[in-house]
Each structure stands twice: as C-alpha cells, then as structure tokens.
Chain A
Amino acid sequence: DVVLTQTPPTLSATIGQSVSISCRSSQSLLHSNGNTYLHWLLQRPGQSPQLLIYLVSRLESGVPNRFSGSGSGTDFTLKISGVEAEDLGVYYCVQGTHAPFTFGSGTKLEIK
C-alpha cells in the first residue's frame, strides 16, 4: 500500500501567519492517465472532513484562496497564506492513484 507521510504532525500558528504542510508518498502518484490524484482535506473539531484541494493544486469551490497546493510525483505541499481562526483542525492528504486509496496521518493546526 502507498504510505503518505505528513509533516509536521502538529503546527501552532498565529493569525495571519503563513504555514506549510508536507505530504510525501512512498511511490509516485502520477497515474498512467496523466492525472495525479493527490487531494487535501480539513477536518474541523467535531465535524466530518471537507475537501480543500484536489488534483494537487485545484481549489475546491467555496474554499478561500489563501489555501494552495503544489507538488508532483512523491512530494506535495499544502500552504495556508495567512491563517485564520477557522482554519484550526486536522489536515489530511489522500491519494486516489493506487488502490487501496490511503490517507496521511494528519497534521493538527492549532491557533496560538
């Protein structure tokens, strides 16, 4: 199975600070069809996860543009440019290239 390693496991940020989360894959997530099925989710406390970014860098409708995704192959990054209070929660990367689909272990974002 593909292992997604997320770092850091926890992140503490002040309002307005920019932060990045890394997601590294044990194998390339480039599918034979040319797509890279790496997505980012946010699970706020007590809620179900929501999709933020899909296909590495595409912003889901309704998600603020302070969120951005980048990367290729095995190395991916989620950046939040100017953290806001509502951004607290656990961020997960998920890959849909190789079955079984797998999730990273999560990065918990705390607001200082």
Chain B
Amino acid sequence: QVQLQQSGTELVKPASSVKISCKASGYTFTSNYMHWIRQQPGNGLEWIGWIYPGNGNTKYNQKFDGKATLTADKSSSTAYMQLSSLTSEDSAVYFCVSGWYFDFWGPGTMVTVSS
C-alpha cells in the first residue's frame, strides 16, 4: 500500500534553513506528482508547489518562491523540501502529498521556528 514517511519534528532558529524529507513506497515514485502543503497552527491549507520526480520538473506557488526548494532522489524514492530564511511565520506542519488529485497525504512534519 502507499506509504509516505516524513522526517521528524524540527526546532530551528530564525534565519536558518531546514530540509524535510518524504520517503515514498508502495507505488511508482517517478510516475506521480508530489505536492507540498503547509498548515499553519489553527489555519487551513496552502499549496507550496509540486515536483515530478521522473524528470525533476517543479512548479511553485509564487508566494513560496525563494522560500521553498523542492527536490527528489529517484534512487531512494525520497522527496525533499528545503525552507530557507526561516521566520516565525514558517512555523507550521508541512505535508507531502502524492498524486495529482492530492491522493495520499503523509503524516506531516512540524517545524517550529524559535530562538
């Protein structure tokens, strides 16, 4: 069955960067889009962007241009999202989601930005 295993909770300092991982199994990693979604505390859902691991193509929400960088490693079926220049506004849960229709969601990675 489809599984998305995300990396653990991160506590990071302002102005730093963090890289979150999402290891996929149970389906063909290279043939499915992977979205990344942000959910701030008590808030709704925001689309950050997608990556197509088969060829590395990406599409970003302009709001996250310069903030998020999406990559994928085909050899390990793992997608990554790096977030840079972190501020308290970036404190949130981040989900990886496989499939064009937002088919399957990972458990989420909580990122807390605090000095």
Q: Give the number of residues in B that approach A within 8 Å (Cβ atoms).
A: 20
Kindly report which residue of chain A lies nearest to residue B4, judged by CB atoms: A48
Q: Which range holds the interface residue count of chain A?
A: 20 to 34
In the complex, A7 has a CB within 8 A of chain B: no
A14-58 CB contacts (< 8 Å) to partner B: 37, 39, 41, 48-51, 54-55
The reply to whether A99 and B61 contact each other, CB–CB distance below 8 Å, is: yes
By a CB distance below 8 angstroms, the chain A residues around B103 are 51, 54, 60
Q: Contacts A48-B95, A100-B61, A100-B62: A105 and B44 contacting too (C-beta < 8 A)?
A: yes
A111 to B99: give the CA distance in the assembly, Å: 31
A48 to B36: give the CA distance in the assembly, Å: 13
Question: Nearest Cβ distance between residue B49 and chain A, in whole angstroms?
Answer: 8
Kindly report which residue of chain B lies nearest to residue A55, judged by CB atoms: B101
By a CB distance below 8 angstroms, the chain B residues around A51 are 99, 101-105
Interface residues of A (CB under 8 A from B): 37, 39, 41, 48-51, 54-55, 60, 92, 94, 96, 99-106
Interface residues of B (CB under 8 A from A): 35, 44-47, 59, 61-63, 95, 99-108
